[in-house]
């Protein structure tokens, strides 16, 4: 399994699209690593600076409809090469969510009130997360205090995370 | 209990149900282009699995940047070309034969009612216009599709849209879909199939239905679908006449691909669009929509007519009808990209390309380039484009640029005026 433990980046906006995560002009790259310096460079969010805020993060917590728009898997890859293997949101665009699980990454959906709670309590503070896929929960920590929050993950998505992606899973099975 | 169209397609294509609600479907076609496929090909090669499940079911095109603009895009094309050759993929479309995938593949007869289709492109939902389940996927799903001919989906729930009334003159499928998206929002159909029905859809040509289904993804929809009818049969007839004795026989066969009267829908939403006006987007999301009248006077720098949404012959005819005898404003530049070589040739034979030329447009070869800011019409910082494409995301057509989505008629009228305005074809109040 990939690493799901580390610092959290809060992106306080809904409908962040895949053009914002990685602009189309970089889709001519044919390695994932090449996307690293351009990740989130067109994100329309005043409080975010891609040059300083992305480094050292392992997970994103954001609002609704994250990853809408283009089907480009370059969006999860751009996050992955920056060390981010998990995104937690109210919901995701279907293709983006599937792309995340297909790469063995996590796209965790939480109810709106829980997302609101996480933003209210942790946004703007140095926050760490440790996600346990097996138990369907994560420990979130800030300023020495921790709490455990559970989430739902369907059997197929869990199997893809365990298999580190759909190619490995499908090759064995089909 | 009856079934929806999407449920019928799912139930007839099951390869596996590994978990409750997860369906692995057998695919009738896998479409490929040069932006999302080369990484899949390279990954298959590196895993020692450079195979294809069925070369006759794989259709491939170079369309996003063509002819290549630099060494990187040349390399993407080369990877596609060599892969198509070594796997004997006969339906591969290169420079001279290539066009925008979602216009080209239907035109080639590759889409049929009841089909399951994936492509590494979000606008694959376009092909649902034929009564198919067609969905955009990422590179990994594409890779497994190429290798095994399967793809996983959750069992679909469907929102049925009933578009009632009659569109006014000068109002088109593009205006209708912009209106629908503005009503339900960019997250309004996430994980759902959007089924388009009603007398407005019945009246629409296949080209217009493709425009409608094309933008389902802008509301989050997995696929847009329309029911097959005689228009579907007529469109497909050159490709299916060997399979059926008559068009009526074909229609009888294809008619099974519609939702049952007692099917269970997530929601049924009715809109009477009789008074709908031409629409355009503002802001950076496709659900930010106003009437063209409300947007009247908004200055633009570039007009773009083309793309998988509105680059078909019907679109070019409408735009040419408005442009004929006029020249575009000296303050704007106009770009038109007929979506396929066949459309290009038709437009040439009908004198449409001359109309565009005489009006001051540049006519480019078929390509997706400008729509996503990759080539052939990229905006500069602060510039504004009136565009017949499908996304007005921030920076979509070039960093710092703004896009206003609209119909070809509104785009042509805007080109003449130099600012957003209604076409002369629209007389509605």
Q: Are B31 and A155 in contact (CB under 8 A)?
A: no
Query: pLDDT tens-digit profile of B122-143?
Result: 999 999 999 999 999 999 999 9
Q: Residue B72 maps to which CATH number?
A: 3.30.499.10
Number of domains composing chain A: 1
Mark whether B25 and B125 lie in a shared domain. Answer: yes
Taking CA atoms, what residue in B is nearest to A96?
B138
Specify the residue for token string 């300023």: A143
| pLDDT given at position B164 | 98
Query: pLDDT tens-digit profile of B149-190?
Result: 999 999 999 999 999 999 999 999 999 999 999 999 999 999
**Burial readout B258-289 (b: 16 or more C-beta within 10 A, e: otherwise):** bbeeebeeeeebebebeebbbbbbbebbbbbb
Name which of B22, B222, B372 is nearest A156 (Cβ-Cβ): B22
Average pLDDT rounded to a whole number, residues B250-275: 98
Mark whether B315 and B229 lie in a shared domain. Answer: no
Q: Which residues of A touch B395 (CB under 8 A)?
A: 19-20, 23, 42
| pLDDT given at position B187 | 97
Query: What is the residue-averaged pLDDT of chain B?
Result: 97
* Segments forming the whole domain that contains residue A126: 5-173
Specify the residue for token string 């049924």: B268
Mark whether B59 and B181 lie in a shared domain. Answer: no
Interface of B with A in 311-370 (CB under 8 A): none
Mark whether B262 and B291 lie in a shared domain. Answer: no
* Segments forming the whole domain that contains residue B237: 157-272
Q: Which residues of B touch A65 (CB under 8 A)?
A: 186-187, 190, 220
Mark whether B192 and B268 lie in a shared domain. Answer: yes
Would you call B394 and A44 a contact, using CB atoms and an 8 Å cutoff? yes
Average pLDDT rounded to a whole number, residues B226-239: 98
B79 near A CB under 8 A:
yes
Last residue of a domain, one of B112, B138, B154: B154
Mark whether B150 and B205 lie in a shared domain. Answer: no
Residue B19 lies in a domain: yes
Going by pLDDT thresholds of 50, 70 and 90, the confidence category of residue B429 is very low
Cα–Cα separations (whole angstroms), residue B133 to B15, B128, B130, B268: 15, 6, 9, 19
Interface test with B, best of A13, A19, A28 (most B CBs within 10 A): A28
| pLDDT given at position B427 | 82
Helix or strand holding residue A132 (H, E): strand A128-132
Would you call B393 and A20 a contact, using CB atoms and an 8 Å cutoff? yes
Cis ω before A36 (30° cut-off from 0): no
pLDDT at B428 over 80: no
Going by pLDDT thresholds of 50, 70 and 90, the confidence category of residue B1 is confident
Lowest mean pLDDT among A24-33, A98-107, B25-34: A24-33
Q: Are A21 and A67 in contact (CB under 8 A)?
A: yes
Would you call A24 and B16 a contact, using CB atoms and an 8 Å cutoff? no
Number of domains composing chain B: 3
Residue B426 lies in a domain: no
Q: Are B403 and B309 in contact (CB under 8 A)?
A: no
Rg (CA), chain B: 21
Q: Which residues of A touch B137 (CB under 8 A)?
A: 71, 95, 98
Last residue of a domain, one of B154, B180, B206: B154
């Amino acid at each position: 399994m990939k690493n799901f433990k580390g610092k959290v980046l809060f992106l306080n906006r809904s409908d962040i699209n895949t053009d914002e995560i990685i602009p189309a002009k970089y889709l001519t790259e044919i390695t994932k690593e090449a996307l690293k310096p351009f990740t989130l460079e067109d994100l329309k969010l005043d409080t975010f600076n891609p040059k300083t805020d992305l480094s050292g993060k392992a997970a994103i917590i954001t609002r609704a409809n994250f990853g809408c728009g283009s089907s480009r898997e370059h969006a999860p890859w751009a996050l992955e090469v920056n060390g981010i293997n998990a995104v937690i949101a109210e919901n995701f665009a279907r293709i983006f969510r599937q792309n995340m699980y297909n790469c063995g990454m996590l796209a965790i959906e939480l109810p709106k009130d829980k997302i609101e709670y996480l933003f209210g309590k942790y946004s703007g503070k140095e926050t760490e997360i440790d996600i346990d896929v097996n138990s369907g929960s994560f420990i979130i920590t800030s300023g020495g205090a921790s709490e455990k929050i559970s989430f739902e993950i369907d059997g197929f998505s869990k199997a893809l995370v365990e298999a580190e992606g759909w190619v490995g899973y499908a090759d064995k099975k089909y | 209990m009856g079934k929806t169209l999407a449920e019928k397609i799912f139930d007839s294509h099951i390869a596996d149900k590994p978990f409750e609600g997860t369906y692995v479907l057998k695919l009738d076609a896998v479409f490929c282009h040069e932006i999302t496929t080369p990484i899949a090909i390279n990954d298959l090669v590196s895993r020692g699995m450079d195979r294809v499940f069925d070369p006759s079911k794989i259709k491939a095109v170079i369309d996003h940047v063509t002819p290549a603009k630099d060494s990187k895009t040349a390399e993407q094309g080369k990877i596609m070309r060599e892969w198509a050759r070594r796997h004997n993929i006969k339906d591969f479309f290169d420079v001279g034969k290539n066009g925008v995938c979602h216009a080209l593949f239907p035109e080639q007869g590759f889409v049929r009612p009841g089909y399951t289709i994936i492509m590494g492109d979000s606008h694959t939902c376009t092909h649902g216009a034929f009564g198919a389940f067609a969905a955009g996927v990422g590179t990994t799903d594409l890779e497994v599709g190429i290798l095994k001919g399967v793809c996983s989906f959750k069992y679909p729930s469907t929102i049925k849209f009933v578009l009632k009334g009659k569109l006014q003159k000068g109002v088109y499928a593009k205006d209708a879909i912009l209106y629908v998206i503005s009503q339900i929002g960019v997250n309004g159909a996430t994980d759902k199939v959007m089924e388009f029905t009603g007398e407005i859809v019945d009246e629409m040509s296949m080209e217009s239905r493709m425009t409608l289904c094309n933008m389902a993804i802008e509301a989050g929809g997995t696929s847009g679908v329309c029911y097959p009818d005689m228009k579907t049969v007529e469109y497909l007839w050159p490709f299916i006449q060997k399979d059926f004795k008559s068009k009526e026989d074909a229609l009888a066969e294809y008619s099974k691909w519609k939702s049952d009267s007692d099917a269970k829908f997530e929601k049924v939403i009715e809109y009477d669009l009789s008074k709908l006006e031409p629409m355009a987007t503002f802001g950076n999301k496709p659900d930010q929509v106003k009437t063209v009248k409300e947007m009247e006077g908004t200055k633009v720098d570039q007009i773009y007519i083309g793309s998988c949404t509105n680059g078909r012959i019907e679109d070019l005819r409408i735009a040419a009808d408005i442009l004929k005898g006029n020249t575009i404003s000296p303050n704007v530049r106009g770009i038109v990209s007929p979506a396929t070589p066949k459309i290009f040739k038709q437009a040439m034979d009908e004198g449409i390309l001359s109309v565009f030329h005489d009006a001051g447009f540049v006519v480019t070869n078929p390509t997706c380039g400008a729509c996503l800011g990759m080539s052939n019409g990229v905006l500069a910082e602060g510039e504004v484009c009136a565009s017949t494409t499908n996304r007005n995301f921030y920076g979509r057509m070039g960093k710092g640029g703004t896009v206003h989505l609209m119909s070809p008629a509104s785009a042509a009228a805007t080109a003449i005026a130099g600012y957003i305005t209604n076409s002369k074809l629209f007389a509605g109040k």
